[in-house]
Amino acid sequence: MAVNGILGIKLGMAQVFTDDGTAVGCTVLQAGPCVVVQRRTKEKDGYDAAQLGLVEFIKPQRVTKPMMGHFKKSNAAPMRRLREVRIDDSADDTKAGDRVLVDRFAPGELVDVTGISKGKGFAGGVKRWHYRGGDSTHGSMHHRAPGGIGGSSFPSRVWPGQHFPGHMGRARVTAKNLRVVKVDTDENLLLVYGSVPGPVGTYILIRKARKAK
């Protein structure tokens, strides 16, 4: 099976000791188990991918009738989270109903983890975009304001995409090249070295690193 990704949940932080006694801080991820709910093919859909569903309990009344029919096609139980993962090989034999487990990852391997970052509410330019700010003394009335935002003569307008105060965080972020420290196939756990976007309980997508260093 050429599916190189899996859905999971961020559980928190832990500490692992290496063989030489070094303490390593890790992020604990619940990786799967997942089920292939639908197989996308290039002949029918224009691209090759597998739609994965994270196996977890969900009340039947929270699933719509169209989604119930969608799950019945693959003989899968209703799931809360679905996500498509691209498949590079068109001749791959992945089909609906196949299980995707954490054992496809190995210690020492590099992975990319995608999630929604923590929401921080409304923030000014200094915090949100790292503005330098104005002087703090000598009568300055320009402490944390953005300063000039447009040209005085040309172009005499504010450019699209100008950095302003606004909502900070709660964006889709990918942490790249995180090293797998430990794989627990019994508990479906994956320990990676480094930080993972989002608070505890965030749904994440774990994929094998595309640009491994």
Cis check for the bond before 197: say yes or no (omega within 30 of 0): no
pLDDT recorded at residue 153: 77
pLDDT recorded at residue 191: 92
Residues of the chain above pLDDT 70, percent: 97
In angstroms, rounded to a whole number, what is the distance separating the alpha carbons of residues 106 and 191?
A: 10
Q: What is the pLDDT of residues 70-111, one digit of tens each?
A: 888 878 888 888 888 888 776 667 787 788 888 888 888 999
pLDDT recorded at residue 11: 93
Q: What is the pLDDT of residues 46-79, one digit of tens each?
A: 888 888 888 888 888 888 888 888 888 878 888 8
Buried-state track 70-96, b at ≥16 Cβ within 10 A, e below 16 = bbeebebebbebbbebebeeeeeebee
CA 149 to chain CA centroid, Å, is 33
Vertex 212: Cα angle to 210 and 213 (nearest 5)? 150
Q: Which of 130, 124, 163, 160 is nearest to 145 (CA)?
A: 124
Question: What is the pTM (predicted TM-score) of this model?
Answer: 0.81
Tell me the mean pLDDT in the region 130-144: 88
1 pLDDT higher than 60:
no
Domains identified in the chain and CATH numbers = 5-118+173-208 (2.40.30.10), 122-169 (no CATH)
Q: Give the type of residue at 122.
A: F
155 pLDDT higher than 90:
no
Computed on alpha carbons and rounded to an integer, the radius of gyration of the chain in Å comes to 23
pLDDT recorded at residue 157: 86
42-51, 114-123, 148-157: segment of lowest average pLDDT: 148-157
